[in-house]
Structure 1
Amino acid sequence: MWSPDRNSGTTLYMQIAEHLAQKIRCGEFPPGSGLPSERKLAGQLGVNRSTVVLAFSELRSIGLIESRSGSGTRVSLADSEETPKHTPNWSQYADDSSMVRNPPFLRKISEALQQNPELIDMASGQLSGDLAPTQEIAEIMSQNRPMSYLGYDNPQGYPPLREALVRYLNRHRGIDTTESSLLITSGSQQSLYLIIRCLLSPGDAVAIEDPSYCFSLPMFQTAGLRVFRLPLDQHGVQPEDIRQLYKKHRIKMVFLNPNYQNPTGTLLSEERRRKVLDIASELALPIIEDDPYSLTAYDGEPPAPLKALDTTGSVIYIGSFSKIAASGLRIGWMAAPRAIVERLADARQQMDFGLSVIPQQVVATFLDSPQFVPHLERLRRELQFKRDMVTAALRREFQGRAEFLEPRGGIHLWCKIGADYNENRLLEQSIRNGFVFGPGSVYGSEPGCLRLTFGRANAGDIDRGIAALREAAEKLDLF
């Protein structure tokens, strides 16, 4: 994010004025569009409000902006000439888009992290930099590997990566598949998007866990789907709830995250897994299994995915490189019937003509390398260490006033710290204290819950972060 240079010979307010003028002239702020308030812009740029007041005054003096009581500061409309000139109403285009925006809490968290990168981040659903196999990937990329072609890739993904995934899924997940039944995606979210947009229609009913990461995905609402909840307990969903939703609403798909579920960290019991598959087979009901965390099992014995137990072809299996290595490589995959893979590959080709070959080659090499298993072992140890730090800090800081279930894998801890309270106030106070978390309502939860992503936070920041959360809770008299 741009910020004024305090060592420049140009005053701060003139730097800000020139920066805004450039954005106005290049069309980023078209005529008639609103500018941030003086207070908000001052906070974003780390300057006094009076500095922004001077910058706005400079822009008003040259006719670029205008301020009106009650409507804030806006970019001036073009002067009328003999032939009127009109600018498209870009704000209306943005507001009228059929694509639903991300939940307000997620936008607030993103904005806070952009404005203050020093925040202790236990909200973002990814690994911290120290957990990534940075050195191993750097070595792979530094090797002179011949690349015969750098054009558009195979619509289903880089063939050597799909071949490596066949071996990986068999070796580490007990899944037998073929490269023709695999589709490479830019991550689990793109896999879900393709399934929702291509295999379902507006008005279709689907079932998701409650709470669930899926609640934070506006793509379900954008697609016009009717979403029904499957409540979770400490052993996952109740299989009979699936049957009841099918009878009542004729659900067409079930979306499950059975291994170290996001956000609760729960593990679907083996008995319930088999019952879910029996019901799916009985009803010819597709199961979409999202499995990003299973290889993080702290005891080194990952639970079998539904796909490995599926004997009737009921499960579409989604995986990702993001939660076991590096989200920045943007590599995910889907194992599905060949007809589905071909249909979704065709749809994805309309979006981007396929992924970059280079990160696919890196991942293909890493999956087969002797460094892959040691990396997983280190990742498990470090995640368990961070989990233990979080649980110890919660017990120490909250003195029994925080309820949680210790996950046995994954990167999230689900916590309840009080009765119904104003999540927005708690989040804002926590941000002021230098800490950010995932509000429970983003995931469709009962009041009083929040998600702490210990996989993202640096170990040295965890104690201070939980202390900041406790201070915020006490300031708001939550207990």
Structure 2
Amino acid sequence: MEWKLDRTSKEPLFRQIARSFEKRIQSGELPPGAPLPPERKLAEELGVNRSTITAAYEELRASGLTQSVQGSGTCVSDHLWGVSPRRLPNWHQYTNGGSFLPTLPLSKRIREASADPRVINLARGQLSSDLFPEEALSDLLKSTPLTASLSYPDPKGDEIFRHTLSAHLQKHYGIEAAPEEILVVSGAQQALHLLTQCILSPGDAVAIEGPSYAYSLPLFISAGLRLFRIPLDEQGLLPDEVMSLYQKHKIRMVFANPTYQNPTGTTLSLARRKRLLQICEELRIPIVEDDAYGSLTLHGSQAPPPALMKLNQGGGSVIYLGSLSKTAAPGLRIGWVAGPRSVIERLADAKQQMDFGTSIVVQRLVESYLSSGQWERHLQRIRKELTIRRDVMLQALDQYVGDQVKWNMPEGSYHIWCRLRNAIPDREVLETGIQNRVLFLPGEIYGAERGYIRLTYAGVSESEIEEGITRFERTLQTVKNSAQI
């Protein structure tokens, strides 16, 4: 180690050592699974007693950043479920430094590799450009009058747009939310950021599905929150585990993606939705419902159960998040939060401080898009196209990797969740895939165990899907052959 101990500091030596490793783990220099030096060797290198190193390693294990592997010593934890926030920076510390937590190393590597035009990207979670409603939006831009003031907008959102959103939620989701109970945001991720900063505090424990898209977002750790896993099966999350997590960790909020969950594609059954609401009402724990994919039921599939917010109508236990990122175009950067008026007022106050409100031009454009019926027509088109692409990917998987991979049968959204029959370290399979010019998302990004892969069919053509799966097969074969050498 090039780093040196400060023997003049009042901070104990073992804590200095633990803090040094903590920084290297957070930065990605020491990725999940990376070994730490043997205690005896590190003690000699730093010129300290072995007991000092032992104490430092115990500190890291207690925080959840490292784990002991029998016969292999100490290594970085494979995940950060339940990590104590006292060992991780919180958002207030980062404002002093002017930055968020850095992008996770695996995500950063994928983003870098996606810049290569020769790569077939089965990782990108968005529609391909040919499915964007470009023509409809272009026509609406020409005909949408900007009669509203072009000064700073209402931080809650344009009133006309919020009335349209209120009608949209009622018509398509059965959700009754008055305009005063809706906040317009720049996508669902801004909504999550506002919630973590305004409703929760550093040190709070929250429950999310495991695996979950939310696990991949550094904003939760930036806010100093502890993430605890709610297990999933083919019917979605297990509601009674919420009671168990509350008893053990006093969780303060549940984040759920109950319909076509990302990344697994599972849909929470009606019985479990009712049970989850019952438990959270008893414990007085709010639920944040992310419904990004709820409208994307594929052809031939049954409609999903009602949204949690509809089932809880008038109960005040659910905060509902929606957007047009998955059903129209992510570049619009338009989303919404529906919930109790007191929560909306609090979030709107913070949004005023953050960005003075969402662009009135975009709000009026999207208002015209929704009220004109263009969104419904576009939705039918992309549901048809996504069904075709899903079927092409399923056929290719069966043809090329059926003996090496198990997968789900998605009834909606963009993704197929795969499990490798022989678990391979995520970084190894990812790097080999990049060498073969195909991208996918390892399950580690979502807090899953080793051996899971998310494949996305929304952002590529039918021919690219088939070629991408052949490259995926080549990747698995390469890794298998290298393991046998």
TM-score, reference length from structure 2: 0.77
Secondary structure of 1:456 counterpart: coil
Provide the residue aligned with 2:230 in structure 1. Answer: 230
**Residues 404 and 422, structure 2, Cα contact 8 Å, conserved in 1:** no
- C-alpha distance in structure 2 between counterparts of 1:475 and 1:96, whole Å: 43
Q: Equivalent of 2:364, from 361, 377, 382?
A: 361
Question: Map of 1:390-429 to 2, 5 A cutoff?
Answer: 390-429=393-432
Q: Deviations over 1:392-428 (max 9, x none)?
A: 1110011332111111001111101233312212112
Counterparts of 1:153-168 in structure 2, within 5 Å, are 153-168=153-168
The one-letter code sitting in structure 2 at the alignment partner of 1:112 is A
Q: Show the 5 A alignment for 1:158-307.
A: 158-298=158-298, 299=301, 301-307=303-309
Distance 1:290 1:94, change over 3 A: closer
Indicate the SS of the match to 1:380. helix
The one of 462, 475, 479 aligned to 1:472: 475
Cα distance in 2 for residues equivalent to 1:236 and 1:381: 25
**Aligned match of 1:308:** 310
What residue in structure 2 maps to residue 106 of structure 1? 107
**Structure 1 residue runs without a partner (length 5+):** 1-92
Superposition map of 1:31-42 within 5 A: none
Displacement of 1:133: 1.4
- The answer for the alignment partner of 1:377 in structure 2 is 380
2:427 alignment partner AA: N
Separation in structure 2 between the aligned mates of residue 433 and residue 95 of structure 1, nearest angstrom: 42
Please list the CA deviations of residues 249-280 of structure 1 after superposition, one character each: whole Å capped at 9, or x if unmatched: 11000000000000000000110000001111
Match of 1:349? 352
The 8 Å contact of residues 407 and 413 in structure 1, kept in 2 or not, is answered as: yes
- Taking a change above 3 Å as real, the CA distance of residues 103 and 95 of structure 1, as seen in their structure-2 partners, is farther
For 1:303 and 1:367, how far apart are their aligned partners in 2?
Answer: 23
Q: Distance between the aligned counterparts of 1:150 and 1:97, measured in 2? A: 30
Instruction: Say if 2:131 is the partner of 1:131.
Output: yes
Counterpart residue type for residue 152 of structure 1:
Y
Report Cα offsets for 1:199-228 as digits up to 9, x if no partner. Answer: 111111100000000110011111111111
What is the rounded CA distance, in whole Å, between the counterparts of 1:178 and 1:450 in structure 2?
Answer: 40
Residue of structure 2 equivalent to 1:121: 121
- In our comparison, the structure showing a higher alpha carbon Rg is 1
| Preserved contact between residue 289 and residue 315 of structure 1 (Cα < 8 Å) | yes
Distance 1:474 1:303 in 2: 40
Secondary structure of the corresponding residue to residue 145 of structure 1: coil
Deviations 1:441-473 (A, max 9, x none): 000011100111111222220000011011011
Change in Cα spacing, 1:346 to 1:424, as seen in structure 2 (3 Å) is same
Per the alignment, residue 81 of structure 1 pairs with: none
Do 2:144 and 2:368's aligned partners in 1 also have CA atoms closer than 8 Å? no
Q: How many pairs are equivalent? A: 386
CA deviations over 1:121-144 (Å, ceiling 9, x no partner): 111221111222121111111225
Q: Structure 1's 361 and 425: CA in aligned 2 closer, same or farther, altered over 3 A?
A: same
On the 8 A contact 2:207/2:230 being kept in 1, the answer is: yes
Residue 118 (structure 1) shift: 3.5
Distance 1:151 1:118 in 2: 44
Distance, in Å, in 2 between the alignment partners of 1:222 and 1:122 is 28
Q: 1:213 to 1:180 in 2, by over 3 A?
A: same
Any conservation in 1 of the 2:187–2:336 contact (CA below 8 Å)? Answer: yes
C-alpha contact (below 8 Å) 2:425/2:450 kept by paired residues: no
Q: Which amino acid aligns with 1:303?
A: P
Letter in 2 for 1:113: S
Contact map agreement 1:300 1:380 (CA 8 A) in 2: no
CA distance in 1, matches of 2:317, 2:152: 32
Question: Which range is displaced more, 194-203 or 147-156?
Answer: 147-156
- Seen in structure 2, the aligned counterparts of structure 1 residues 95 and 398 have a Cα distance that, compared at 3 Å, is farther
Q: Is the CA contact 1:205–1:226 (under 8 Å) kept in the aligned structure 2?
A: yes
Q: Distance in 2 between matches of 1:357 and 1:97?
A: 28
Q: Which residue of 2 aligns with 1:48?
A: none
CA contact (8 A) 1:319 1:333 kept: yes
1:214 and 1:249 map into 2 onto residues whose CA distance is: 19
| One of 312, 332, 341 as aligned partner of 1:338 | 341
Equivalent residues of 1:102, 1:216 under 8 A apart: no
Going from structure 1 to structure 2, the CA distance change for 1:97 and 1:371 (only over 3 Å counts) comes to closer
Please state how far the C-alpha of 1:95 moved relative to its aligned partner.
12
Q: Residue type matched to 1:227 in 2?
A: L
SS in 1 for 2:440: strand
CA distance in 1, matches of 2:148, 2:475: 57
RMSD of aligned Cα (Å)? 1.8
Query: 1:16 is matched with which residue?
Result: none
- Partner amino acid, structure 2, of 1:318: L
Q: Provide the rounded CA distance (Å) in 2 between the counterparts of 1:388 and 1:159.
A: 42
Evaluate the alpha carbon distance shift between residue 361 and residue 94 of structure 1 in structure 2; reply closer, same or farther with a 3 A threshold. closer
Deviations 1:47-79, CA, capped at 9 Å, x for gaps: xxxxxxxxxxxxxxxxxxxxxxxxxxxxxxxxx
**Alpha-carbon spacing, 1:249–1:368, altered in 2? closer, same or farther (3 Å):** same
Match of 1:435?
Answer: 438
2:376 partner amino acid = V
Q: Write out per-residue CA displacement over residues 354-393 of structure 1, whole angstroms, 9 at most, x where no aligned residue.
A: 1111111111111111322221111111111111111111
Unaligned runs of 5+ in 2: 1-93
CA contact (8 A) 1:300 1:377 kept: no
**Comparing 153-162 and 302-311, the one that deviates more:** 302-311
Work out whether residues 263 and 415 of structure 2, in 8 Å CA contact, stay in contact via their aligned partners in 1.
yes
- Native 8 Å contact 1:294 1:303 kept in 2: no
TM-score (norm 1): 0.78
Q: Secondary structure at the match of 2:448?
A: coil
Percent identity of equivalent pairs: 43
**Displacement after TM superposition at 1:97 (Å):** 6.3
Q: Which residue of 1 aligns with 2:48?
A: none
Q: Alpha carbons of 1:143 and 1:96: their partners in 2 closer, same or farther (altered >3 Å)?
A: closer
Question: How far apart in 1 are the matches of 2:362 and 2:470?
Answer: 39
Q: For 1:370 and 1:101, locate their aligned partners in 2 and report how far apart those are by CA, in whole Å.
A: 40
Q: Secondary structure at the residue paired with 1:259? A: coil
